[in-house]
């Protein structure tokens, strides 16, 4: 979930001289890069010979995420094994003024991991322990190498699970860093609501806990004896009014304020019962109206995902399904058997009153998993619409009441401008994605996509929405962020950044420092 770049690596790649070299360090050319010997031996003395890599393949692998942003490799990749090593490495970088780029799984979507000013990539995959599971308190602490699927596999026999599910199998600390979200957010919230505490290493190597030091002893798993009937624990499980909320300042900071080395997460009981359904609608308006009404009726729905006709067609082709090619909702309900009945009947009533038809139910795990696999494969299904093309997902989010209007207008815009952009959305949150499938060799199309994404973001802003519901700012949305927040708020963000990272070493060039009006355009001119 940490990411890659467009303005990417110009300093390095264009000048042919590394960040280190530019600062006049004595140096040796290794793997086509110039890196100072003393720095490298310090790194090696901290995390071992095999904990430091200058290999081109390794650097390139760590210079990009899953987005369209061009690869921008760091000068060197280090693989610390514990927080003490992260801290020691950071101190070396700090004293040599080297940029630090944290790297989890590289599954981000806005160019967050690219080494746009060169520097040292901290790959955190060796720190992969699940620590301090407290089943009785519904929380767990994990290191940055633990992904969401690995955590849920670990939790399998406990009756607990962690619901936040971005498409990729991202690392949980990376998800915290990018304020990730997913299909379950409508019921369980995003990372903002589910991170209870963070251990963070700042640019100067100091280590802090954002919500106090964890002091509880770890409970062995065999002590677990929970009565879990429903899936929601208490809301404000770790209530505190103790000073500034550093936890939520770090969540979503995209590696620009510090390196997250531990995350304490809120867990949930596996629901007693689950039911999924697919329902087709005569129009976008009818599908989205149903969503709004289901939520207004207080149904604690777990997932409510919208796919437009273009997307459902793509999914049918890709996953060999035969859903009607009309606007469609994928739904999921969690709860006790009894509460499920009530949720389902209210929802059926509402969807029918909006002309919803073909309500297809899936109660057994296998059918449910086939249904959701089709939804999760939407990205690949979109790409398959135009072989050889690249994809970029927009990410606007608006207040629920404005959702029908913005989706309808956006579809018209796509048609008018002859663009392929199937829509899938976490409509329960007001958040939706147009998966823009674009020919990277067609400058005219790239330009039309660029103008379209700008129009879409501004349409969302005019409706009191945001340019990014869950993908973050990274490189691609820095100028839109300025439009959204305004100068005084941007100045406040900039001064917070300077307060915690006065040398601008932490993932420089991301979130803040907009590249001017050409910024977003670069995104599409740098598809490779």
- List binders of a copy of itself among 104-163 (CB under 8 A): 134, 136-139
- In whole angstroms, give the CA distance from residue 263 to residue 86: 15
Q: At what angle do helices 365-376 and 309-319 cross, to 10 degrees?
A: 120
Q: Is 222 in the site for a copy of itself (CB under 8 A)?
A: no
Question: Which residues lie across from 88 on neighbouring strands?
Answer: none
Give, as ranges, the residues between 286 and 325 that touch a copy of itself (CB under 8 A).
292-293, 295-300
CB 421, CB 437: distance < 8 Å: yes
Residue 369 C-beta: closest distance to a copy of itself, Å: 23
Altogether, the residues listed in the chain come to a count of 528
- In whole angstroms, give the CA distance from residue 114 to residue 320: 37
Pick 376 or 477: Cβ nearer a copy of itself: 477
Give, as ranges, the residues between 50 and 69 that touch a copy of itself (CB under 8 A).
none
Among 17, 229, 368, 390, binds a copy of itself (CB under 8 A): 229
Binding mask 369-408 for a copy of itself (x = CB under 8 A): --------------------------x-x-xxxx------
Pick 399 or 443: Cβ nearer a copy of itself: 399
Q: Is 503 in the site for a copy of itself (CB under 8 A)?
A: no
At 310 the three-state DSSP class reads helix
Give, as ranges, the residues between 459 and 478 that touch a copy of itself (CB under 8 A).
461-464, 466-473, 477
How many residues make contact with a copy of itself (CB under 8 A)?
A: 112
Pick 150 or 408: Cβ nearer a copy of itself: 408
Q: Is 485 in the site for a copy of itself (CB under 8 A)?
A: yes
Contacts of residue 217, defined as CB under 8 A and 6 or more positions apart, other chains included, come to none
Among 339, 351, 420, 522, binds a copy of itself (CB under 8 A): 339
Radius of gyration of the chain (CA): 23
Among 2, 122, 188, 524, binds a copy of itself (CB under 8 A): 188
CB 446, CB 527: distance < 8 Å: yes
At 168 the three-state DSSP class reads coil
Among 3, 27, 123, 210, binds a copy of itself (CB under 8 A): 210
Question: Which residues lie across from 269 on neighbouring strands?
Answer: 160
- In whole angstroms, give the CA distance from residue 299 to residue 301: 5
Q: Is 511 in the site for a copy of itself (CB under 8 A)?
A: yes
Binding mask 73-102 for a copy of itself (x = CB under 8 A): ------------------------------
Closest CA to 313 of 438, 468, 428, 437: 437
- In whole angstroms, give the CA distance from residue 462 to residue 476: 20
């Amino acid at each position: 979930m940490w990411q890659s770049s467009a303005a990417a690596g110009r300093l390095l790649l264009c000048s042919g001289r590394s960040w280190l070299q530019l600062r006049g360090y004595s140096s040796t050319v290794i793997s086509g890069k110039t890196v100072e010997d003393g720095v490298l031996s310090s790194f090696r003395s901290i995390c071992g010979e095999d904990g430091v890599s200058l290999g081109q393949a390794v650097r390139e692998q760590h210079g990009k995420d899953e987005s369209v942003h061009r690869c921008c490799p760091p000068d060197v990749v280090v693989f610390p094994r514990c927080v003490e090593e992260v801290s020691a490495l950071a101190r070396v970088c700090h004293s040599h003024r080297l940029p630090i780029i944290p790297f989890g799984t590289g599954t981000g979507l806005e160019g967050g991991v690219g080494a746009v000013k060169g520097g040292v990539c901290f790959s955190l995959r060796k720190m992969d322990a699940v620590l301090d599971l407290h089943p009785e308190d519904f929380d767990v602490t994990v290191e940055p190498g633990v992904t969401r699927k690995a955590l849920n596999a670990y939790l399998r026999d406990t009756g607990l699970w962690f619901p936040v599910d971005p498409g990729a199998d991202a690392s949980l600390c990376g998800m915290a860093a990018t304020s990730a979200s997913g299909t379950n957010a409508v019921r369980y919230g995003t990372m903002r609501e589910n991170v209870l505490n963070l251990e963070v290493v700042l640019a100067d190597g100091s280590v802090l806990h954002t919500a106090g030091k964890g002091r509880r002893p770890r409970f062995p798993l065999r002590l677990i004896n929970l009565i879990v009937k429903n899936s929601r624990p208490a809301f404000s499980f770790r209530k505190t009014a103790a000073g500034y909320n550093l936890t939520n300042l770090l969540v979503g900071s995209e590696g620009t304020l510090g390196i997250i080395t531990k995350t304490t997460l809120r867990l949930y009981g596996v629901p007693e019962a689950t039911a999924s359904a697919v329902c087709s609608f005569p129009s976008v308006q009818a599908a989205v109206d149903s969503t709004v009404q289901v939520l207004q009726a207080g149904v604690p729905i777990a997932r409510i995902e919208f796919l437009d006709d273009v997307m459902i067609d793509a999914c049918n082709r890709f996953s060999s399904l035969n859903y009607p090619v009309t606007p469609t909702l994928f739904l999921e309900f969690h709860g006790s058997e009894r509460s499920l009945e009530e949720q389902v009947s209210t929802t059926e009533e509402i969807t029918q009153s909006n002309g919803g038809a073909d309500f297809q139910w899936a109660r057994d795990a296998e059918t449910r998993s086939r249904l959701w696999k089709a939804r999760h494969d939407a990205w690949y299904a979109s790409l398959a619409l135009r072989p050889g093309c690249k994809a970029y997902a927009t990410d606007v989010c608006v207040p629920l009441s404005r959702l029908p209007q913005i989706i309808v207008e956006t579809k018209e815009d796509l048609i008018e401008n002859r663009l392929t952009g199937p829509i899938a959305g976490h409509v329960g949150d007001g958040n939706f994605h147009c998966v823009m499938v674009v020919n990277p060799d067609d400058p005219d199309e790239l330009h039309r996509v660029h103008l379209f994404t700008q129009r879409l973001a501004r349409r969302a802003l005019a409706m009191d929405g945001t340019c990014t519901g869950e993908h973050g700012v990274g490189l691609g949305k820095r100028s839109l962020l300025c439009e959204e927040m305004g100068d005084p708020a941007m100045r406040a963000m900039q001064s917070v950044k300077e307060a915690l990272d006065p040398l601008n070493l932490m993932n420089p060039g991301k979130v803040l420092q907009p590249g001017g009006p050409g910024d977003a355009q670069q995104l599409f001119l740098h598809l490779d």
